[in-house]
Structure 1
Amino acid sequence: MRARMFSWAVFAALLLNIVLLINTASGCRDNLLPPKHSALFVFGDSLFDSGNNNYFDTLLRFKANFSPYGKTFFGYPTGRATDGRIIPDFISEYAGLPLIPPYLQPGQKWEYGVNFASIGGGVLDDTHPGYVINLRDQLRNFMNVEQHLREKLGDEEAKALLSSAVYLFNIGSNDYFAPFQENSRFFRSQHVQKEYIGRLIGNLTNAIQEIYNKGGRKFAFLGLSPIGCLPWVRAFDPPRTNGCAQELVEIAKQHNIALSQLLQKLENHLKDFKHSTHDFFTSFSDRSNNPRKYGFTAGKMACCGSGIYRGLPTCGKVMNGYDLCENPREFLFFDSGHATEKANEQFAKLLWSGDSDVTWPYNLKSLFEIDNKCRSNVSTE
C-alpha cells in the first residue's frame, strides 16, 4: 500500500514539473511583471488627459495646468481638466495600479500602462490640428511604447503584457464640437450626421485594429455624454439656455449606437476580442436632471466659469475673471465642459462594477480579470 502511494506521489510531482515546464516554454511567466498584473493604456481627450498637454506649446483653452484645477485632491494643478482626479485615475486604483502617467511626462516606467489622452484631442486629423494630440498621433505614441516594451522585456513578456492589458477610450466629442462652433446648423441634416459619424467610426475601427495587431485584446469605451447639454453649449447659443442643442444630443446618440454596433461586429470577427461599453449618455443625463439623487445640488451650472450657467470657459483665466463655487462636491460640472472629481468617481464605479444595463457585455472589473497572458495561440487575424 505504501509503495503504491509513493509511486502516485512521484507521478504527481513529475506531472506538475511537466506542466510548469510547458507554461514556461510557452511564455506564460511573469518574471519581470508583478503578479496578476494587467496594464492600462488610455486614449482620449480632456476627460482622460492626465497632463500630456503640459509638455508642449498650445492654446490656453487646451490646458488645465493652472489654479483652481486640481484643488480638491492634489492641491495643485496637474493638467487634469477637473478639480481632482479623472476617471482613469479611479480605474487604475480599483485595478491595483499606480496612477497611470502621461506619455510625455519624462522618466516614467510604462509597465503598468500609459496615458496618451490630450485635451482637445479628436478622432479626426482635422480637429484642432497643430494644437492637440489627435488619435493618429496617440496611436503613434503607443507604437513607440510597444517597441520600448519589446526591447526592455523581450518579445514574450511584452506579448503577455499587451494581451492582458486593458485599452480604455473616450474620444469623439471634440470632432462634433469643432464644426458646430463654426456653424451651429452644421449637423441639422441627417445625411451630414450619418456621413460624419461614419468617418469617426472608420477611424476608430482602424485604431482598434492597429492595437489588436500588436496584441491588444481587451478594449473599453466610454460612450459620448449628452454633449449638447454642457454649460458651454448653453452659453454658446443663449436662446438654448433652458434646453440643449438638440442636434448635438442626437448626434451623440447616433454615435453611441454606431460605436456599439462596431464593437459587437469586431467581437464576432476578431479572435479573443473582448470589450466593455459604458452608457455615459444615460449616467450623465440622470445626474444632470436629478442632481440631488446623486448627492449634488447643481446638475446644470458649473462650479467654475462665468456668465450663464458659468458656461463661459474662463475658469482659472485671471485676466478675464471668473466665478468659483465654495464646494465642488456639490456640482456635477467643475468647469464649462468637464465633470467634478466626485462625478468622475461615480462614473468610474459604474465602469468598474456596474450592472449590464449600464456597462456591457463586461464591466471593467470583469475585463481586467480575463487573462489572455497564457494563451500561446494569440492571433492577429
Structure 2
Amino acid sequence: MDHRKQQGRARTPPNMHQIAFHLFLLCSSSSSFAMTMRRRGFQQQLLLVVALLVVTGAALHCHCATAASSEPDQQTTPVPPPDHQETPPPQAPGPSPPPSSGRRRGSPSPHRRPPPPPPPKQQVDPEPDQEDGGPPAVLPPRVVVSPQDPHPPGGPPGGGAAAVVNRTTGCTTLLVLGDSTVDPGNNNRLPTTARANFLPYGLNFYGRRPTGRFTNGRLATDMLAEKLGIGRTIPGFYDPSLKLAQLRRGVSFASGGSGYDDTTANRINVLSFSAQVRNFVRYKLLIRTLLGPRRAERLLNRAAFVISSGTNDMLSLYLASSSNRSSVVDMDTYENHLIARVANYTQAMILLGARRFIFVGLPPMGCLPIARTLVGTGSDRCDETLNQIAASFNSKLIQLLNIINFQRQIATSYIDTYTAIHDATADPKTFGLTEVSRGCCGSGVIEVGQTCRGRRTCGDPSHYLYWDAIHPTETTNQLIADVMMDSITQLYS
C-alpha cells in the first residue's frame, strides 16, 4: 500500500530556529566551532545542529561542532569506540595516538587524515555541478559488487555476472536504519551478545559464511539493492573494510535488538535509533568530503531511506507485562510514545536532507515462533492479542506517514509486511512453504542468536517462513524485497 504525498508547505516548529541560533551563539565561543563555521558555512552547520537537537533533545553539547570538523580516513569507515551510545566521530583504523590528558591547540587530531589526493573521476558523479536552486540531475544506478561478495552463490571464484542495472528508477543510494531485520553485521563491532556472526547464520550466504545477518542468506535490503543495480548487498556502516568511495551507494546503520525506544537498545548494549541517526550525521559529513557540499546534498535528496523497527519494542514490553501482571503497561499509550519518536526521527532526517522514506510495518508478532512458545498458544495458532497490537501500531504509523507527506518534496511508502506474512502463515502452499510455525534452526520454537549457535538446521530453509524463532528466512526476505521494489518505483515516479 503506497501513501503518496499531497502538496503542501513544510513548517518548522515555532521556536526551533531560535533554539538552534542560541546553541550556535553558545558554541561559537570555542575556537574549534569557529574554524568549522569558516570551513563548512553557516547554513549547513545550522541544519546539522537543528537535526541533532530533534534527536537528542536538550542534551546537545558544543563538542558536536568539533566532531563536524574531523575528517575520517578516506580508505576505511571507522570502527566505533566502545561507548557507542555517546560517541565522538569514529576513528579510522591505525596506530593509536599516545595517551594524554588533552590535545594542544594546533596539534593534529587523532580523527584527521592528511589532505588526500582528489578521488578518481569514476568514483564521483560525472555531471558538472549545477547552480544552486536548479533541479538535481538523476543518474542511472551504478553496478557495484560489495567486497563481502566477490561472486554469486555457485559462481566462479573469479566473479560471476554483474547485477543488471535497473533504469526504471532514479534511486542510486540506499540508507537503512532499524533492527536485526536490516542489520548486515554492525553488531559484530559492538560489545553485545546480540550477534549472528557464527554458523548456522549465513549458511546460504555468499561463500556459506556468517556475516552478522540474522538469517540464513541475504536481507530484504540486500535484495532490493541488487534489484536496483546498486550492488549485491548493503554493507554496515561499522564494516571495517568499507571504503569511503562506497558510501555513495549506501550503507545500513541498523543494529540487531534495537527499536524506536532507546531503552530497548540500551538493555542489550546495541545501537539505539537515535545513535543510528547520529551516525547518519557522520555519514553526511563523510559523503560531503567525497562529493562536495552540493553533490552530497543532491545524493541525499534522491536516496531512499529504508526504516524497519518497532518489533523489539512492542514484543519485549508485552512479554514483560504478561509475565508480571502487577506492572501491566497501557500498550496504546506506548504505541503513541513510539509514533511520536518516529515523527521526531523522521523530521531530523528531513532536516539533514532526506526526502524519500520506506517504512516497514510490524509483522504479525503473535505468529512468531518465540511468541507462540512464550505466550503458550503452541504451534496450532497465533496469539491474537499480539497481532492486534501490531495492527494497531501499523495503522498509527500509516496515519503519521500521511501527515509527513503534506510536507513539500517529501514522499513516503509503507511496506505491509503484516498482510504478506499473515497470508503466508494462513496459506503456506501458495507461497511454496511447508513450515510456518517454527524456525529452521534447532527446535525452531525458542532459539535466537547465541542459542542458535552450532545447532542443526532443517534440510531446506527455502520452504520455511522463519529461520530462527524470530527472524525470516531468505525466502521470506525475497517476498518483502519485492514489495519494497514496487514502493521504490512509486517513490521515484
AA at the equivalent of 2:432: G
Change (3 A) 1:193 1:149: same
Aligned partners of 1:290 and 1:299 also within 8 Å: no
Gaps of at least 5 residues in structure 1 are 1-19, 354-362, 371-381
AA at the equivalent of 2:176: V
The Cα offsets for residues 178-237 of structure 1, whole Å up to 9 and x where unpaired, read as 222323267999981221011100110011101111111100011110011100111113
* Secondary structure of 2:264 counterpart: coil
Distance 1:280 1:46 in 2: 15
Corresponding residue for residue 80 of structure 1: 213
Which among 393, 401, 420 is matched to residue 255 of structure 1? Answer: 393
Q: Does 1:100 align with 2:237?
A: no
Change (3 A) 1:204 1:267: same
Corresponding residue for residue 373 of structure 1: none
Distance 1:124 1:191 in 2: 15
The Cα offsets for residues 262-318 of structure 1, whole Å up to 9 and x where unpaired, read as 0001111x1111011111100000111111110111121211132xxx211156647
Corresponding residue for residue 282 of structure 1: 419
Which among 199, 202, 205 is matched to residue 67 of structure 1? Answer: 199
* Secondary structure of 1:264 counterpart: helix
Q: Percent identity?
A: 32
* Secondary structure of 1:177 counterpart: helix
Aligned partners of 1:122 and 1:171 also within 8 Å: yes
Distance 2:179 2:343 in 1: 18
AA at the equivalent of 2:188: N
Q: How many residues are paired up? A: 333
Corresponding residue for residue 122 of structure 1: 259
Map 1:55-204 onto structure 2 (within 5 A). 55-59=189-193, 62-74=194-206, 75-98=208-231, 99-106=233-240, 107-108=242-243, 109-129=246-266, 131-184=269-322, 192-204=330-342
AA at the equivalent of 1:83: N
* Secondary structure of 1:70 counterpart: coil
Distance 2:418 2:351 in 1: 30
Distance 1:261 1:248 in 2: 20
The Cα offsets for residues 75-124 of structure 1, whole Å up to 9 and x where unpaired, read as 11011111101100011011110222101112332111110111101101
Q: Give the C-alpha shift of residue 38 in structure 1.
A: 2.3
Distance 1:318 1:252 in 2: 26
Aligned partners of 2:200 and 2:452 also within 8 Å: no
Distance 1:24 1:342 in 2: 46
Q: Does 1:54 align with 2:159?
A: no
Distance 1:232 1:48 in 2: 19
* Secondary structure of 1:63 counterpart: coil
Aligned partners of 2:404 and 2:410 also within 8 Å: yes
Aligned partners of 1:218 and 1:275 also within 8 Å: yes
Which among 334, 337, 341 is matched to residue 474 of structure 2? Answer: 341
Distance 2:171 2:289 in 1: 19
The Cα offsets for residues 21-71 of structure 1, whole Å up to 9 and x where unpaired, read as 99556564589x969552110011111111101111102xx1111101111
Distance 2:326 2:299 in 1: 45
Corresponding residue for residue 403 of structure 2: 265
Change (3 A) 1:21 1:127: closer
Q: Which has the higher helix share?
A: 1
Aligned partners of 1:316 and 1:322 also within 8 Å: no
Aligned partners of 1:296 and 1:330 also within 8 Å: yes
* Secondary structure of 1:243 counterpart: coil
AA at the equivalent of 1:184: S
AA at the equivalent of 1:67: L
Which among 304, 308, 332 is matched to residue 441 of structure 2? Answer: 304
Change (3 A) 1:38 1:345: same
Map 1:234-245 onto structure 2 (within 5 A). 234-245=372-383
Aligned partners of 1:180 and 1:186 also within 8 Å: no
* Secondary structure of 1:275 counterpart: strand
* Secondary structure of 1:127 counterpart: helix
* Secondary structure of 1:219 counterpart: strand
Aligned partners of 1:30 and 1:157 also within 8 Å: no
Distance 1:276 1:326 in 2: 36
Change (3 A) 1:188 1:280: farther
Corresponding residue for residue 447 of structure 2: 313
Change (3 A) 1:26 1:58: same
Q: TM-score, normalised by structure 2?
A: 0.63
Aligned partners of 2:448 and 2:470 also within 8 Å: no
Gaps of at least 5 residues in structure 2 are 1-126, 143-166
Distance 1:200 1:337 in 2: 21
Q: Does 1:38 align with 2:172?
A: yes
Distance 2:129 2:302 in 1: 20
Q: TM-score, normalised by structure 1?
A: 0.81
Change (3 A) 1:111 1:227: same
Corresponding residue for residue 359 of structure 1: none
Change (3 A) 1:56 1:23: closer
Aligned partners of 2:202 and 2:216 also within 8 Å: yes
AA at the equivalent of 2:247: W
